[in-house]
């Protein structure tokens, strides 16, 4: 997966609580195992009208937020089913970071495994960031994963915390497969030793 070090981008405000994975990517779009192509279906139940036209009231349809790479969201973001398609859809939509007071546990873990950065911050700080994001195209934030800092549009810096291992994986672009490949030499040594000691396992 792509490495994540820092981004400087527009942040879109989505002050909704309990945004579940079915809202993020409705179940009828779960038939694919490809990680690309799901962005057009992200939030489709509230992003589009019944006739398929865009809902002008939905935040990501508004001109100022079409290029948003950061989402400021409400508590319990990503609740519901454990579908990994949810972070896939958000990333294919162009989002790289979601900042919220809390996340559903499985969704939170799936984000790290797919290169999407979820950041937890206390509700009072989220309220401040939400107000910043409401400034539209002027709501430019910098998210620095290496230094664990968010720089607000006014230059104020907010610190955040991330598990060190997950931070390492995102910065180096390591998903589960990447982590395994890192140990390729040790795996090869083990296999050679096992072949010598238990050759019947390789027949």
pLDDT of residue 177: 57
Question: Residue ranges of the domains in the chain?
Answer: 6-172, 176-203
Dihedral angle, C-alpha 22, 123, 159, 88, nearest 10 °: 0
pLDDT of residue 176: 62
For 16-50, letters b (16+ CB in 10 Å) and e give eeebbbbbbbbeebbeeeebeebbebbbbebbbee
pLDDT of residue 187: 62
Neighbours of 171 (CB within 10 A): 14
What global pTM score does this model have?
0.88
In CATH, which superfamily holds the domain spanning 6-172? Aconitase, domain 4 (3.20.19.10)
| Alpha helices (H) in 38-175, listed in sequence order | 44-47, 85-92, 105-114, 123-133, 164-172
For the segment 111-155, what is each residue's pLDDT rounded down to a tens digit?
999 999 999 999 999 999 999 999 988 889 999 999 999 999 999
For the segment 168-193, what is each residue's pLDDT rounded down to a tens digit?
999 999 876 555 555 566 666 666 67
């Amino acid at each position: 997966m792509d490495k994540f070090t820092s981004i400087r981008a527009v942040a879109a405000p989505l002050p909704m609580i309990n945004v579940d994975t079915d809202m993020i990517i409705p179940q009828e779009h779960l038939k694919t195992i490809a990680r690309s192509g799901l962005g057009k279906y992200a939030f489709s139940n509230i992003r589009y009208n019944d006739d398929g036209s865009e809902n002008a009231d939905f935040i990501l349809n508004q001109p100022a937020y079409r290029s948003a790479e950061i989402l400021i969201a409400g508590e319990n973001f990503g609740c519901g089913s454990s579908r990994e398609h949810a972070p896939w859809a958000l990333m294919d939509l162009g989002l790289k970071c979601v900042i919220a007071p809390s996340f559903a546990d499985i969704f939170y873990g799936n984000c790290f495994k797919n290169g999407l950065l979820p950041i937890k911050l206390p509700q009072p700080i989220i309220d401040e960031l939400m107000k910043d994001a409401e400034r539209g195209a002027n709501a430019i934030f910098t998210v620095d994963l290496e230094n664990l800092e968010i720089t607000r549009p006014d230059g104020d810096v907010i610190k955040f915390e991330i598990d060190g291992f997950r931070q390492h994986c995102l910065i180096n672009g390591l998903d589960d497969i990447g982590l395994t490949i890192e140990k390729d030499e040790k795996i090869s040594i083990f296999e050679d030793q096992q072949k010598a000691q238990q050759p019947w396992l390789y027949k």
